[in-house]
Amino acid sequence: MHKMIVYFLLVIACVSNSIAHNGGNIEKRVVSWKSTELAKGIYMLEGKAGNPGANLGLLVGKDGVILIDNGLPKVIEMTMKTIGKIAGGDVSFVINTHGHLDHTGGNPAYAKKNVTIVAHDNTRKELQSNKEFNQIGLPNITFNDEITFYLNGQTVNAFYIQPAHTNNDVVIYFKDANIIHAGDMFFNKKFPFIDLDRGGDIDGFIAGQKKIIELINKDTKIIPGHGLLANKKDLQTAVNMLIDAKKRVKDLVDKGMSKEEVLTINPLATYEKWSWNHISTKKMTEILYRALTTKKEQTKN
Ligand SMILES: [Zn+2]
């Protein structure tokens, strides 16, 4: 009975979260994933309807299954069913790109199925301190610099980026297939979120994106944490935008302007098309202002 109620509530939650209001008509959509095979046995999954979470990566083959990130907790049953269908069997390893809940929300459900969860040392610490997170889903293998999986004829290297989007970002590189899962080190054609409350760092973010660019070539397929499948050129465009956006805000900070004065000038107006529901132009400006003024204080001390 209890299970039935939970299931019922879950269905309500899934449907109500994806109700689109359109000219007075209410269109009901069920939250789901769209899967694209990028190379033999390597898939990108992105939200098809509603918001099931950040983009996932999946490696499938006879040696085992690696799932990169696992979406939001509220739709985990649907996510597990989708992954199970594509994989044709159980997941062997989950890799978390970092601790945000739209990437790690499925950890507890996978942990209950005895799936090994791999993440950076700081991701475990981050999730340990998150009261919303069911602690059963903590990563049970952690690493500091990098870890490599040899599965299904693929070399899969997960490596740590310095403090950037958070203080615990890792990027996963399928070397043989020339595919990268960038986690939230890349928001394709969207303003990036730099989580200053969780150790994020604007210069680290720029340096981290440059590091990925150095590693790849024009044929590399990049799965961004958010946004459509991308390539090196898209990532270069994103880092160029961020460098320029930072400069635009910094010029005003250097003139001694307050946050309100900077927001009134709206120095990122030229990048309005990068605005999205999580990071508006105003929010991006606020993040940059805070990052730049916090640094100033640190330098003074
Ligand atoms: Zn994130």
Q: Which residues contact 291 (CB under 8 A, 6 or more apart)?
A: 194, 196, 201, 202
Q: List pLDDT tens digits, range 195-222.
A: 999 999 999 999 999 999 999 999 999 9
Is residue 143 within 8 Å of 118, Cβ to Cβ?
A: yes
**290 CA to centre of ligand 1 in angstroms:** 18
**56 CA to centre of ligand 1 in angstroms:** 13
Rounded CA-CA distance 208/190 in Å is 17
**97 CA to centre of ligand 1 in angstroms:** 8
- Which CATH number is 120's domain given? 3.60.15.10
Q: Note down the domain range covering 21.
A: 1-30
**104 CA to centre of ligand 1 in angstroms:** 10
Instruction: Identify whether residues 11 and 69 lie together within a single domain.
Output: no
What pTM value is reported for the model?
Answer: 0.89
Instruction: Identify whether residues 122 and 211 lie together within a single domain.
Output: yes
Is residue 188 within 8 Å of 230, Cβ to Cβ?
A: yes
Q: List pLDDT tens digits, range 97-146.
A: 999 999 999 999 999 999 999 999 999 999 999 999 999 999 999 999 99
Instruction: Identify whether residues 26 and 74 lie together within a single domain.
Output: no
Q: List pLDDT tens digits, range 268-300.
A: 999 999 999 999 999 999 999 999 998 644 444
Rounded CA-CA distance 5/187 in Å is 37
Percent of the chain topping pLDDT 90: 86
Rounded CA-CA distance 60/78 in Å is 18
Instruction: Identify whether residues 116 and 151 lie together within a single domain.
Output: yes
Q: Tell me phi and psi for residue 35, to 5 degrees.
A: -110, 135
**235 CA to centre of ligand 1 in angstroms:** 17
Instruction: Identify whether residues 177 and 53 lie together within a single domain.
Output: yes
Q: Select from 226, 230, 243 the least CA-distant residue to 185.
A: 226
Assign 148 a pLDDT band (cuts: 50, 70, 90): very high
CA dihedral 247, 163, 103, 5 (to 10 degrees): -110
Residue in this structure with the two tokens 């809940």, named with its chain if needed: 101
Instruction: Identify whether residues 150 and 176 lie together within a single domain.
Output: yes
